Amino acid sequence: MSKRKVSGRMIAKRNHRYNKIAMIGITMVVCMMLVLLYVQGRSVQRRISENTQRQQELAEQIDDEKERTKEIEAMQDYVQSDEYTEKIAKEKIGLVKDNEIIFKEAD
């Protein structure tokens, strides 16, 4: 009977040793997973930050383009006006109105 108790104790010690090794292995796996999750989280946070910055830059570009569009529309209205037509006629062609006096510089 004493052999049975000894062998039972030996089995219990062996099982305890295996359990201890298994717990260490599981702990290591969990730690590696935590490190991996941390690294992935940092990567995602960096990408979010980059995308937020890019979004702000694009919003600024949109505002600039809207302002540019307004300037182009204003220029288009000006080009279609009589004032612009008169200006171009005077500068490019040299036309004058009937009651206008022309002064020329002396050379």
pLDDT attached to residue 43: 96
pTM: 0.53
Segments in the chain below pLDDT 70: 1-6, 8, 107
Inter-residue contact 65 to 73 (CB < 8 Å): no
Ranges assigned E (strand) in the chain: none
pLDDT attached to residue 2: 47
- The domains of the chain are located at 2-93
Q: For residue 53, give the H/E element and its range.
A: helix 2-79
33-53 confidence digits (pLDDT tens): 999 999 999 999 999 999 999
